[in-house]
Amino acid sequence: MGILFVRNERNGTKLGVWKVEETIEELKDKLLLNEDELRFFNSLNKNKRNIHWLSSRVLLRHLLDTKDFIEVRGDEHGKPHLVNFDYKISISHSYDYAAGMIGKKAVGIDIEKIKPVISHIARKFLHVNELREIDINSEIQKLYVYWCAKESVFKMNGKRGLLFRENIFLYPFEFKDEGDYVEGYYTYNGQTNSFRVKYEQIDGYMLTYVIKE
C-alpha cells in the first residue's frame, strides 16, 4: 500500500504514516544505501526488524521529497538525526505501520498496535497520580495514549535519563475515539517543560506526536 497519509503541521513540521505491505526487496529498491548501512541491515537477521528499518527510511525519503542519499546516524544518546539535511526527525514502527516526522524544531512520534496486554505493565510507566485517573483493566485505549504520549515526549527530548513514571506526566483527560490533544509536563536536569501531544487511532493502532514548543 505504501504511504497512508502525509500531513503538514505547524512550524514547517511534516508527519507521515506508511502501511507496510512491500517485501524487503521492494523496500530496498526505493532507497540508496551506503556500505555501512548495508552492513548494519544485514546484521539484523530478523525479517520484521529488516522491514521496519527499511520502511522508516523509505518514509523519511518521502517526507523529505528527495532522491538524494539520506544519512541517518544516532547521537551519543541514541537519538537518530540526519547528517545531510537540516531537519530534526523522529521515527516509529509497530507491526505493519511506520510513522515519521521531520521539522525545524525537535519532534517526537510513536505508533503502537493496541493490545490488552498493556494493562500488565501500566504501573511501570504511570505515576501514582495518573493511576488514580484510569481503570487499567478496561481503559486500554487510554492507556495507550499515556504510553505513546510519553514515548513521543521521550523521543522529542532525546536524552537518556528521562523516565516515564518519574519524569513525564499527563494532566487528567477524557479519552475521545476521534482523537484529541493531551497536555502535561516533564522534568529534566532540574527544569520543568510543558508539552501538548496529539493522539489519534488508525486501524487498531494508537498514533501520538509532539512538537517542541
- pLDDT for 3-44, tens place per residue? 888 999 988 899 999 998 888 888 878 777 767 777 777 777
Domain that holds residue 95: 2-105
Mean pLDDT of the 155-184 span: 95
Which residue type sits at 65?
A: D
Q: How many structural domains does the chain have?
A: 2
Same domain, yes or no: 77 and 131: no
Quote the DSSP letter at residue 204.
Answer: T
| Interacting residues of 100 by C-beta distance below 8 A, sequence separation 6+ | 15, 16, 18, 56, 59, 60, 63, 89, 90, 91, 92, 109
pLDDT band at 104 (very low <50, low <70, confident <90, very high): very high
- pLDDT for 53-64, tens place per residue? 788 888 988 899
Same domain, yes or no: 37 and 123: no
- Confirm if 193 and 108 have CB atoms less than 8 A apart: no
Domain boundary among 54, 81, 105: 105
- pLDDT for 115-148, tens place per residue? 999 999 999 999 999 999 999 999 999 999 999 9
